[in-house]
Amino acid sequence: MAVPSETMEALVERAGGDLRAGINDLEAIARSPAVLPGLPPLVGRRDRAGDMEALLRESLASARFYRAVEVRERTDTAPDDLVPWVEENLPREAPDPEHGLAAFGMLAEGERCLQRARRYRTYGLWSYASEILTGGVGTALRDAPGPVPASLRFPQYLGDMGRSRVSRASRDAIAAKIGARCHVSRRKARDDFLPFLDGLFDRVGASPTPLPVRELQLTPGEVGYLARMPLDSAAIARLFEPDPEPEPLPKGEAPGEPLGEPPPQEDTEPTGSPGPMPPAGESGATPPTRKRIQRSLGEFTGEVP
């Protein structure tokens, strides 16, 4: 395939050091019937996200405003992502305390715009926040352009959140179990119940309490988070050991088991049989006579008792 030098130079300039992008553009123009000198119209400008760190390095070193459109074109992130970077590197780049105080005031103003945008759903304030967090901070930090910092420090807050991801997951899982058991919200369980449960496990020289482990059905990882112990510790392993099998009961004491032969009982009846009962007439006592009762009208005899 023959490609004019002007077209090749235009492709290289448009790729911007991205080899894969250059090959894709070359493949696109190779399918056209004729490759004319210059850049063919079928190769458009690539929408590539800029580097946020490069923009912040430039904004902290130059005393000029950045339009929200420029910030949006150079970074493919929300203005909220600019806040931790500016907050972390602003004290290092401040030339004196007065300029640093003014720059932190602009940072607070940008955060207030972001808070209002989240609370009232007025995301049109994002453009104001982008301009304040870049150009506003830069003009408050320097009266004239200064040296561009070689690199920015990664925000410590983001690093701490990344390292505590496992701990926060265990905390939220425990709060969810407490909420289901005590019928409270997850937030109330985390704020009110979790400190009490943390105190039960955080006892120096004592083993973890088995009762909340059994009631809440905690996992070894969650017990290790509460007791601040490694997962392979012997105290945690003892909590999750299977219960020993009970010893069998003696014969005749186990529930549902038939009892043995009952022991023979001694005959306590007196020897000899009693004689025949005497007739009622031969006995000395006379049986009482029964009072006659009228049962119908025909039995009436006229006698009054």
Residue pair 28/57 in contact by the 8 Å Cβ criterion: no
CA distance 74 to 52: 7
Q: Is residue 114 part of a domain?
A: yes
Exposed, middle or buried: residue 80 (CB in 10 Å: 0-12, 13-18, 19+)?
middle
Which residues constitute the domain of residue 225?
A: 165-239
**pLDDT recorded at residue 287:** 62
Q: Is residue 143 part of a domain?
A: yes
- Which two three-digit tokens encode residue 247? 């010893």
**pLDDT recorded at residue 142:** 85
Q: Is residue 15 part of a domain?
A: yes
| Listed residues 207, 239, 271: the one ending a domain | 239
**pLDDT recorded at residue 281:** 52
Q: Where are the alpha helices (DSSP H) in the chain?
A: 5-15, 19-30, 52-61, 68-74, 82-93, 97-120, 125-131, 137-141, 156-163, 165-182, 186-188, 194-201, 210-216, 220-227, 234-239
Whole-prediction pTM: 0.52
Q: Is residue 122 part of a domain?
A: yes
Q: Is residue 26 part of a domain?
A: yes
Nearest CA among 7, 43, 49 for reference residue 24 = 43
- Which two three-digit tokens encode residue 112? 């207030």
Residues 6+ apart with CB under 8 A from 36: 4, 7
Amino acid found at 31: R
* Domains identified in the chain, total number: 3
**pLDDT recorded at residue 19:** 76
Question: What percent of the chain is helix, strand and coil (3-state, nearest 5)?
Answer: 55, 0, 45
**pLDDT recorded at residue 185:** 93
Q: Is residue 274 part of a domain?
A: no
* Gyration radius (Cα) of the chain, Å: 47
* 79 shares a domain with 17: no
Q: How far apart are the first and last CA of the chain?
A: 146
| Listed residues 212, 239, 266: the one ending a domain | 239
Q: Is residue 56 part of a domain?
A: yes
* 217 shares a domain with 125: no
* 114 shares a domain with 174: no
- Give every residue of the chain whose pLDDT is below 50, as ranges: 39, 41, 49
